[in-house]
Amino acid sequence: MQKTVLAVGAHPDDIEFLYSGTLLLLKRQGWAIHMWNLANGSAGSKTLSAEAIVAKRWEEARSSARIPGATMHPPLFQDLGIFYDAPSIARVSSVVRAIDPSIILTHPPSDYMEDHENTCRLIVTAAIAKGVPNYPVDPPCEAKDGPVALYHAPPLGCRTGLNEPVVPTLFVDIGSVVEEKLRMLMAHESQMEWLRQTQTMTSLEEVVLAESRNVGKLSGVFQCAEAFTPHDHRGYCPENFKPLEEALGADVFYKPRT
Protein backbone atom coordinates (compact mmCIF):
# COMPACT_ATOMS: atom_id res chain seq x y z
CA MET A 1 0.00 0.00 0.00
CA GLN A 2 1.23 3.47 -0.88
CA LYS A 3 1.63 5.38 2.38
CA THR A 4 0.46 8.84 1.28
CA VAL A 5 -2.13 10.98 3.07
CA LEU A 6 -3.75 14.13 1.71
CA ALA A 7 -5.37 16.60 4.12
CA VAL A 8 -7.66 19.06 2.36
CA GLY A 9 -9.19 22.17 3.90
CA ALA A 10 -11.15 25.04 2.47
CA HIS A 11 -8.98 27.81 3.96
CA PRO A 12 -5.53 28.22 5.47
CA ASP A 13 -5.72 27.02 9.12
CA ASP A 14 -8.70 24.64 8.59
CA ILE A 15 -6.34 21.66 8.44
CA GLU A 16 -4.55 22.76 11.58
CA PHE A 17 -7.80 23.16 13.51
CA LEU A 18 -9.35 19.87 12.41
CA TYR A 19 -6.81 17.15 11.63
CA SER A 20 -3.18 18.24 11.96
CA GLY A 21 -2.74 15.97 14.98
CA THR A 22 -3.68 12.96 12.88
CA LEU A 23 -1.23 14.08 10.20
CA LEU A 24 1.55 14.32 12.77
CA LEU A 25 0.83 10.79 13.99
CA LEU A 26 0.84 9.43 10.44
CA LYS A 27 4.15 11.17 9.79
CA ARG A 28 5.59 9.29 12.79
CA GLN A 29 4.47 6.06 11.12
CA GLY A 30 6.40 6.86 7.95
CA TRP A 31 3.60 8.31 5.85
CA ALA A 32 4.21 11.02 3.25
CA ILE A 33 1.85 13.86 4.18
CA HIS A 34 0.35 16.40 1.81
CA MET A 35 -1.60 19.53 2.80
CA TRP A 36 -3.88 21.48 0.48
CA ASN A 37 -6.08 24.50 1.13
CA LEU A 38 -8.43 24.98 -1.83
CA ALA A 39 -8.94 28.71 -1.15
CA ASN A 40 -6.16 31.27 -0.81
CA GLY A 41 -7.32 33.27 2.20
CA SER A 42 -8.15 36.38 0.13
CA ALA A 43 -10.99 37.44 2.46
CA GLY A 44 -9.05 36.88 5.67
CA SER A 45 -8.29 40.48 6.64
CA LYS A 46 -10.15 43.70 7.33
CA THR A 47 -7.04 45.85 6.89
CA LEU A 48 -4.82 44.27 4.20
CA SER A 49 -5.61 44.14 0.48
CA ALA A 50 -6.63 40.82 -1.04
CA GLU A 51 -3.23 40.53 -2.73
CA ALA A 52 -1.33 41.23 0.49
CA ILE A 53 -3.28 38.81 2.65
CA VAL A 54 -3.08 36.06 0.00
CA ALA A 55 0.71 36.33 -0.03
CA LYS A 56 0.88 36.40 3.76
CA ARG A 57 -1.42 33.43 4.24
CA TRP A 58 0.49 31.36 1.68
CA GLU A 59 3.73 31.93 3.59
CA GLU A 60 1.98 31.08 6.86
CA ALA A 61 0.58 27.87 5.36
CA ARG A 62 4.04 26.89 4.15
CA SER A 63 5.51 27.62 7.58
CA SER A 64 2.90 25.37 9.17
CA ALA A 65 3.60 22.57 6.68
CA ARG A 66 7.32 22.71 7.42
CA ILE A 67 6.71 21.68 11.05
CA PRO A 68 5.68 18.10 10.13
CA GLY A 69 7.62 18.11 6.84
CA ALA A 70 4.50 18.12 4.69
CA THR A 71 4.21 18.95 1.00
CA MET A 72 1.98 22.04 0.69
CA HIS A 73 0.02 22.41 -2.54
CA PRO A 74 -1.02 25.86 -3.81
CA PRO A 75 -4.69 26.93 -3.66
CA LEU A 76 -6.93 27.11 -6.70
CA PHE A 77 -9.71 29.49 -5.63
CA GLN A 78 -10.56 32.74 -3.87
CA ASP A 79 -12.29 32.72 -0.49
CA LEU A 80 -16.05 32.32 -0.98
CA GLY A 81 -15.22 31.15 -4.50
CA ILE A 82 -15.15 27.39 -4.03
CA PHE A 83 -17.96 26.05 -6.22
CA TYR A 84 -19.03 22.56 -7.17
CA ASP A 85 -18.96 22.82 -10.96
CA ALA A 86 -17.37 20.94 -13.85
CA PRO A 87 -14.26 23.16 -14.27
CA SER A 88 -13.52 23.02 -10.54
CA ILE A 89 -13.98 19.24 -10.40
CA ALA A 90 -11.55 18.81 -13.31
CA ARG A 91 -8.89 21.00 -11.64
CA VAL A 92 -9.21 19.40 -8.21
CA SER A 93 -9.22 15.89 -9.70
CA SER A 94 -5.95 16.56 -11.52
CA VAL A 95 -4.18 17.35 -8.26
CA VAL A 96 -5.66 14.34 -6.48
CA ARG A 97 -4.48 12.07 -9.31
CA ALA A 98 -0.98 13.54 -9.14
CA ILE A 99 -0.75 12.94 -5.36
CA ASP A 100 -2.51 9.54 -5.51
CA PRO A 101 -3.24 9.31 -1.77
CA SER A 102 -4.38 6.24 0.13
CA ILE A 103 -5.98 8.42 2.83
CA ILE A 104 -7.87 11.69 2.39
CA LEU A 105 -8.89 13.82 5.38
CA THR A 106 -11.41 16.56 4.66
CA HIS A 107 -14.49 18.50 5.75
CA PRO A 108 -17.92 16.93 6.36
CA PRO A 109 -20.78 17.21 3.85
CA SER A 110 -22.74 19.45 6.25
CA ASP A 111 -20.88 22.36 7.82
CA TYR A 112 -21.47 25.96 8.84
CA MET A 113 -20.33 27.49 5.51
CA GLU A 114 -20.45 26.47 1.87
CA ASP A 115 -16.71 26.79 1.19
CA HIS A 116 -16.29 23.87 3.59
CA GLU A 117 -19.19 21.90 2.13
CA ASN A 118 -18.10 22.48 -1.48
CA THR A 119 -14.54 21.47 -0.61
CA CYS A 120 -15.96 18.19 0.67
CA ARG A 121 -18.03 17.66 -2.47
CA LEU A 122 -15.13 18.44 -4.80
CA ILE A 123 -12.75 16.10 -2.99
CA VAL A 124 -15.25 13.25 -2.79
CA THR A 125 -15.83 13.48 -6.54
CA ALA A 126 -12.11 13.84 -7.25
CA ALA A 127 -11.44 10.67 -5.25
CA ILE A 128 -13.81 8.81 -7.58
CA ALA A 129 -12.37 10.49 -10.68
CA LYS A 130 -8.84 9.52 -9.62
CA GLY A 131 -9.34 6.04 -11.08
CA VAL A 132 -11.62 6.88 -14.04
CA PRO A 133 -9.46 7.07 -17.21
CA ASN A 134 -12.24 8.51 -19.39
CA TYR A 135 -12.79 11.50 -17.11
CA PRO A 136 -10.73 14.44 -18.44
CA VAL A 137 -8.90 16.44 -15.77
CA ASP A 138 -7.27 19.86 -16.01
CA PRO A 139 -4.34 19.78 -16.52
CA PRO A 140 -4.23 16.24 -17.94
CA CYS A 141 -2.94 13.59 -15.55
CA GLU A 142 -3.05 9.82 -15.87
CA ALA A 143 -5.71 8.03 -13.83
CA LYS A 144 -4.48 6.08 -10.79
CA ASP A 145 -5.98 2.75 -9.70
CA GLY A 146 -4.89 2.65 -6.04
CA PRO A 147 -7.62 2.50 -3.38
CA VAL A 148 -8.37 5.59 -1.31
CA ALA A 149 -10.22 5.89 1.99
CA LEU A 150 -11.93 9.18 2.86
CA TYR A 151 -12.41 10.42 6.42
CA HIS A 152 -14.62 13.41 7.24
CA ALA A 153 -13.85 15.54 10.29
CA PRO A 154 -16.82 17.09 12.08
CA PRO A 155 -17.26 20.87 12.06
CA LEU A 156 -15.75 22.77 14.96
CA GLY A 157 -18.06 22.24 17.90
CA CYS A 158 -19.49 19.11 16.25
CA ARG A 159 -22.56 21.00 15.05
CA THR A 160 -23.82 21.79 11.54
CA GLY A 161 -24.84 25.20 10.25
CA LEU A 162 -28.39 24.39 11.40
CA ASN A 163 -27.04 23.66 14.89
CA GLU A 164 -27.64 19.94 14.53
CA PRO A 165 -25.23 17.65 16.39
CA VAL A 166 -22.62 15.74 14.39
CA VAL A 167 -21.71 12.39 15.94
CA PRO A 168 -18.35 11.08 14.66
CA THR A 169 -17.49 7.41 14.91
CA LEU A 170 -13.69 7.35 14.72
CA PHE A 171 -11.47 9.02 17.31
CA VAL A 172 -7.71 9.60 17.20
CA ASP A 173 -5.68 10.15 20.37
CA ILE A 174 -3.58 13.28 19.76
CA GLY A 175 -2.31 13.73 23.30
CA SER A 176 1.28 13.01 22.25
CA VAL A 177 1.25 15.60 19.43
CA VAL A 178 -1.06 18.33 20.72
CA GLU A 179 1.82 20.76 21.30
CA GLU A 180 2.98 20.34 17.70
CA LYS A 181 -0.61 20.80 16.54
CA LEU A 182 -0.67 24.12 18.38
CA ARG A 183 2.63 25.15 16.78
CA MET A 184 1.19 24.46 13.34
CA LEU A 185 -1.90 26.53 14.10
CA MET A 186 0.10 29.41 15.55
CA ALA A 187 2.04 29.68 12.29
CA HIS A 188 -1.12 31.39 10.97
CA GLU A 189 -0.32 34.67 12.70
CA SER A 190 -2.55 36.80 10.47
CA GLN A 191 -5.64 34.95 11.65
CA MET A 192 -5.39 35.80 15.33
CA GLU A 193 -7.00 39.22 15.06
CA TRP A 194 -9.38 38.12 12.27
CA LEU A 195 -10.87 35.33 14.36
CA ARG A 196 -11.12 37.58 17.39
CA GLN A 197 -13.09 40.11 15.32
CA THR A 198 -15.31 37.73 13.38
CA GLN A 199 -15.77 34.68 15.61
CA THR A 200 -15.13 36.11 19.10
CA MET A 201 -12.17 33.78 19.63
CA THR A 202 -9.90 35.34 22.25
CA SER A 203 -7.19 32.65 22.22
CA LEU A 204 -6.63 30.12 19.46
CA GLU A 205 -4.64 27.91 21.80
CA GLU A 206 -7.53 27.80 24.26
CA VAL A 207 -10.06 27.11 21.51
CA VAL A 208 -8.03 24.23 20.08
CA LEU A 209 -7.28 22.71 23.47
CA ALA A 210 -10.93 22.98 24.50
CA GLU A 211 -12.08 21.43 21.22
CA SER A 212 -9.54 18.60 21.51
CA ARG A 213 -10.67 17.88 25.07
CA ASN A 214 -14.35 18.01 24.14
CA VAL A 215 -13.77 15.54 21.31
CA GLY A 216 -11.78 13.40 23.72
CA LYS A 217 -14.79 13.32 26.03
CA LEU A 218 -16.99 12.23 23.13
CA SER A 219 -14.66 9.30 22.55
CA GLY A 220 -14.97 8.18 26.15
CA VAL A 221 -11.38 6.93 26.14
CA PHE A 222 -8.98 9.73 25.13
CA GLN A 223 -8.15 12.98 26.89
CA CYS A 224 -7.38 14.93 23.69
CA ALA A 225 -8.65 13.72 20.34
CA GLU A 226 -9.57 14.48 16.76
CA ALA A 227 -12.57 12.78 15.22
CA PHE A 228 -13.74 11.51 11.85
CA THR A 229 -16.54 9.67 10.14
CA PRO A 230 -15.32 7.31 7.37
CA HIS A 231 -16.91 7.71 3.96
CA ASP A 232 -18.66 4.71 2.43
CA HIS A 233 -16.14 2.50 0.63
CA ARG A 234 -18.14 1.94 -2.56
CA GLY A 235 -16.32 3.35 -5.59
CA TYR A 236 -13.19 4.18 -3.62
CA CYS A 237 -11.70 1.10 -2.02
CA PRO A 238 -12.46 -2.44 -0.80
CA GLU A 239 -14.78 -2.68 2.19
CA ASN A 240 -11.97 -3.91 4.45
CA PHE A 241 -9.56 -1.12 3.42
CA LYS A 242 -9.02 0.85 6.64
CA PRO A 243 -5.59 2.46 6.32
CA LEU A 244 -5.97 5.08 9.05
CA GLU A 245 -7.07 2.54 11.63
CA GLU A 246 -4.28 0.14 10.64
CA ALA A 247 -1.57 2.82 10.61
CA LEU A 248 -2.38 4.29 14.02
CA GLY A 249 -3.44 1.15 15.86
CA ALA A 250 -4.04 1.82 19.55
CA ASP A 251 -4.29 5.57 18.91
CA VAL A 252 -7.62 4.98 17.13
CA PHE A 253 -10.92 4.13 18.80
CA TYR A 254 -14.06 3.23 16.84
CA LYS A 255 -17.31 4.12 18.58
CA PRO A 256 -20.35 2.96 16.62
CA ARG A 257 -23.52 5.03 16.81
CA THR A 258 -26.23 3.58 19.02
Greatest C-alpha distance within the chain: 50
Dihedral sign from CA coordinates of 163, 191, 126, 136: positive
pTM comes to: 0.95
Supply the pLDDT for residue 195. Answer: 67
pLDDT of residue 208: 85
Q: pLDDT tens, position by position, for the chain (258 residues)?
A: 779 999 999 999 999 999 999 999 999 999 999 999 999 999 988 889 999 999 999 999 999 999 999 999 999 999 999 999 999 999 999 999 999 999 999 999 999 999 999 999 999 999 999 999 999 999 999 999 999 999 999 998 899 999 999 999 999 999 999 999 999 999 998 877 666 666 665 667 788 889 999 999 999 999 999 999 999 999 999 999 999 999 999 999 999 887
Q: Residue 194: which H helix or E strand, with range? A: helix 191-199
Strand partners, 234: none
pLDDT of residue 129: 98
Residues 57/40, Cβ–Cβ less than 8 Å:
yes
Sign of CA dihedral 181, 119, 70, 234: positive
38: CB partners within 8 A, 6+ apart: 8, 9, 10, 75, 76, 77, 82, 92, 115, 119, 122
Give the residue among 139, 135, 14 at the shortest CA–CA distance from 64. Answer: 14
If we measure between CA atoms, which residue out of 72, 8, 20 comes closest to residue 211?
20
Q: Decide if 115 contacts 80 (C-beta within 8 A).
A: yes
Q: Using CB atoms within 10 Å of the CB of residue 172, give its burial: 0 to 12 exposed, 13 to 18 middle, 19+ buried.
A: buried
Which residues lie below 8 Å from residue 77, measured CB to CB, with a gap of 6+? Answer: 38, 39, 40, 83, 88
